[in-house]
Amino acid sequence: MRRFEGYGVMITGAARGIGAATAHRFAAEGAQVAVTDVDGRAAEKTAAGIREQGGVARAFTCDVGSRESVEAAVAAAVEEFGRLDVLVNNAYACAPDAARFEDEPDDVWARDLDVTLTGAYRCCRAALPHLVASGRGAIVSVGSVNGLQDYGNHAYSAAKAGLGSLTRTLAGHAGPRGVRVNLVAPGTVRTPAWSGRGAALDAVSGLYPLGRVGEPEDIAAAVTFLASPDAAWITGVTLPVDGGLTSANLGFRTQLA
């Protein structure tokens, strides 16, 4: 099934993990994919892998913390593909919490919010005119269950919750202009961010009703669904893709058993 034949798609943070899996999924369904990342060399590696599989992909260096870098990447993608139909906001920053909340430094808080939330804002602002012009524009942001419940990481969680709010307000603004805006909220996903922590992933797997943590491909499937014509009457929603984590508390049940 090639739902994105002729589409131009831009994905941030696409060099690895969820972003890379999403880039591969879009390309496999016919899209021309702009693989963007602050690590341009890693982005090119992902794009090259897509091309080796017969897909169409170009890599662009993009620092979502810079308005100039974002606007240049959007312009380059539009010039390369002749259009932009889908924006996927996937780039994020997540610093460990200080032991005590009152010891959290301002710069750590500011960076998590700037990359994760304000970075998505910068990308939406730059891409929106092109998404409107496409006549089938869609924005899908990658949030987190951290934006829905408490799983730690104060700044990251606040930024992901903010993405949910931005999704709703932008959906109301962009809907009459023909652009849909949605968000996917993943649970724990086996990405390079968990490298060397396999035991921790195994430990939390039992807290998921479906008995496992997620894979990047699980999130890519949800992102492409929300970006596709199959979701033509869906906008402004947050879709948890979390193996049932936010719908059930297995740890609590186990303690009562």
Please check whether residue 29 is in contact with residue 44, taking contact to mean a CB–CB distance below 8 angstroms. Answer: no
Q: Sorting pLDDT into bands at 50, 70 and 90, what band is 206?
A: very high
Annotated active-site residue in 7, 92, 121, 156: 156
The whole-number pLDDT of residue 254 equals 82
> CA 176, CA 131: separation in Å to the nearest integer?
12
Please check whether residue 160 is in contact with residue 147, taking contact to mean a CB–CB distance below 8 angstroms. Answer: yes
Q: Where are the domains of the chain?
A: 8-191+215-245
> CA 14, CA 17: separation in Å to the nearest integer?
7
| Mean pLDDT computed over 190-200 | 88
> CA 242, CA 214: separation in Å to the nearest integer?
7
CATH fold of 8-191+215-245 reads Rossmann fold (3.40.50)
Confidence check: pLDDT of 125 > 80: yes
> CA 155, CA 120: separation in Å to the nearest integer?
15
> CA 30, CA 72: separation in Å to the nearest integer?
24
pLDDT tens digit string along 42-76?
999 999 999 999 999 999 999 999 999 999 999 99
pLDDT tens digit string along 74-104?
999 999 999 999 999 999 999 999 999 999 9
Provide, rounded to the nearest whole percent, the portion of the chain with pLDDT above 70: 100
Pair of tokens at residue 15: 């060099």
| Interaxial angle between packed helices 17-28 and 40-52, expressed in degrees from 0 to 180 and rounded to the nearest 10 | 30
Instruction: Tell me, yes or no, if 208 is annotated catalytic.
Output: no
Torsion of CA 43, 46, 50, 56, to 10 degrees: 0
Higher pLDDT: 199 or 137? It is 137
Identify the DSSP state of 246: G
> CA 210, CA 121: separation in Å to the nearest integer?
33
